[in-house]
A and B are shown apart, each in its own frame.
Chain A
Amino acid sequence: MNDAAADPLDNELAKARSGERAAFGVLVQAHQRSVYSLALRMLGTRDLAEDLTQEVFMQLNGNLRSIDSNRHLRFWLRQVTSNRAIDQLRRRARLQWTSLEEETQLFSDEEDSDPLLQRHMRALLAELSPPARAVLLLRYQEDLDPQDIARTLDMPLNTVKSHLKRSLESMREKTAGLVPARCEDNST
């Protein structure tokens, strides 16, 4: 939200554009968490997410001169990651969700949330179409507003809003049995 304020990464971007390797490394470190999380939750496996993250940063390496600010860079990374992930998912008939060890990676486990509820939400997220999944991730992982999501995914604003509405309704309906139990637990 404070994008208008001076961003220290703008300097690093300028240095990286002039060929400074260390500055490019700083940009990779600053954005790899977001790119990797988006890739992981879109594609479902760590290996695919790592491959996609690597491809995105390699593509950035060749396109750095067209990026004019860190804000633009964040937009570019989300756009390229989402579109590449959607393309990959469309090429594959079905998403493969693998071991439990990887499943725990799909959601952060640092908060005090119910693991059962999280597993259920993960399954529901995986059931969504690739564009709907991207919309939900950009909204709740990347904290973008619907207009920015529409720009990132090159999608009409009404489509973004209807994806959000339908996905949330579906999530609410399907987690209804789990949520009250959790609330009761918390209240005691």
Chain B
Amino acid sequence: MSDDIESRMRAALRPVAPREEFAQKLLAQTIVDPPARSKPRDFTAAKLRPLAWWLTASLAASLVLAVGVHRHLEQQRMQQSGLEARREVLKALRVTSQKLNLAYEAVKSQSEKSGV
């Protein structure tokens, strides 16, 4: 009984051929785009993948380096301007001290004169 239904299934499911025009179209299409052509495409893609990775990595490294250098220069510039300001303050103090000395000397000589 099982063989009966199985043989009926086999008979019913014999492969059928596609339409002639489809078969010819398919053949023409596969021959136009042959397997050999797909090789360089795959090869190029496979070669480009590490290149893209390296490009991305070097771009990222350059960016990090640029930020680092910029920060370092900024720090140096701030340090320089700090030293400059300190120098200015010292100079101002020196000038003030000289002026005060002169004033003191003038007051002192005047009081000596009036005391005599």
Contact = CB atoms under 8 A, between A and B. Distances in A.
Interface in A73-130: 105-108, 110-111, 113, 117-118, 121-122
A62 B38 contact: yes
Interface string B17-45: 11100110011011101111111001000
Contacts of B31: 21-22, 24-25
A108 B18 CA distance: 12
B9 A136 contact: yes
Interface string A54-76: 10011001101100000000000
A19 B35 contact: yes
B8 A33 contact: no
Given A61-B38, A64-B35, A24 B30 contact: yes
Contacts, number: 121
B110 interface: no
B36 A18 contact: yes
A32 B35 contact: no
B15 A121 contact: no
A171 B9 contact: yes
B67 interface: no
Nearest to A64: B35
A73 B4 CA distance: 32
Given A107-B13, A121-B12, A168 B18 contact: no
**Chain A's interface: helix, strand, loop or mixed, by majority?**
helix
Chain B contact-residue range equals: 20 to 34
B27 A28 contact: yes
B15 A54 contact: no
Nearest to A167: B9
B15 to A, nearest CB: 4
A139 B5 CA distance: 13
Contacts of A64: 35, 38
B5 A168 contact: yes
A78 B50 CA distance: 35
Interface in A142-160: 143
Contacts of B22: 36, 50, 53
Given A57-B26, A111-B11, A33 B34 contact: no
Interface in A15-34: 16-22, 24-25, 28-29, 32-34
B2 interface: yes
B6 interface: yes
A121 B17 contact: no
Interface of B: 1-2, 4-6, 8-19, 22-23, 26-27, 29-31, 33-39, 42
14 contacts: A29-B27, A33-B16, A40-B16, A58-B33, A64-B38, A65-B39, A107-B12, A107-B14, A108-B12, A108-B13, A117-B12, A141-B13, A172-B1, A172-B2
